[in-house]
C-alpha cells in the first residue's frame, strides 16, 4: 500500500478515535465548589456546565456580589478541570502527530 493510502487510513482511524473520545468527554463530569461548599458547579468535559447548586443559606440579598463571586470561582474551577481532562484525553490519541491547528 502506498504511503498516501497508509496516511489516509491513519487519519480515518484518528478521526474515529477523536469522535469516540469527544462523545465520552460529553458524558464525563467534574465538580468544583467555592464558599466552603455553598456553591457547587458541575461541568462536563466537553466544556459545558451541567448544573449549579447554591446552598439557600448563601443567598443574602444584601451581599449579592459575594454570591456572584462564589459562582464565578466555582464555574472557572470546574471548566479548568474539564479542559485539563479533555486535553489529556485528546493528547493520548494525538501523541506523535504534529497536525497544525488540531490542538
pLDDT tens-digit profile, the chain (103 residues) = 578 888 888 888 888 988 898 888 889 999 999 999 999 999 999 889 999 999 999 899 899 999 999 999 999 999 999 999 988 988 887 776 655 555 4
As a whole number of angstroms, the distance between CA 43 and CA 47 comes to 7
Domain ranges of the chain: 3-94
Per-residue pLDDT at 99 = 55
pLDDT at 17: 87
Note the pLDDT of residue 8: 83
For 34-92, give the secondary structure using H, E and C: ECCCCEEEEEECCCCEEEEEECHHHCCHHHHHHHHHHHHHHHHHHHHHHHHHHHHHHHH
Total-model pTM: 0.72
What pLDDT is recorded for position 15? Answer: 87
CATH 3.30.1310.10, applies to 3-94: yes
* Whole-number pLDDT of residue 103: 47
Predicted pLDDT at 89: 86
List CB contacts of 99: < 8 A, sequence separation 6 or more: none
Q: Which whole-number Å values give the CA distances from 2 to 5, 11, 97, 98, 101, in the listed order?
A: 5, 14, 19, 21, 26
Amino acid at each position: 500500500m502506498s504511503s498516501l493510502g497508509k496516511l489516509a487510513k491513519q487519519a480515518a482511524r484518528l478521526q474515529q478515535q477523536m469522535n469516540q473520545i469527544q462523545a465520552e468527554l460529553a458524558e464525563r463530569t467534574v465538580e468544583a465548589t467555592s464558599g466552603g461548599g455553598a456553591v457547587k458547579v458541575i461541568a462536563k468535559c466537553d466544556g459545558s456546565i451541567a448544573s449549579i447548586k447554591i446552598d439557600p443559606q448563601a443567598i443574602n440579598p444584601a451581599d449579592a456580589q459575594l454570591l456572584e463571586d462564589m459562582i464565578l470561582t466555582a464555574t472557572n474551577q470546574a471548566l479548568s478541570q474539564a479542559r485539563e481532562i479533555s486535553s489529556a484525553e485528546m493528547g493520548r490519541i494525538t501523541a506523535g502527530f504534529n497536525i497544525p491547528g488540531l490542538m
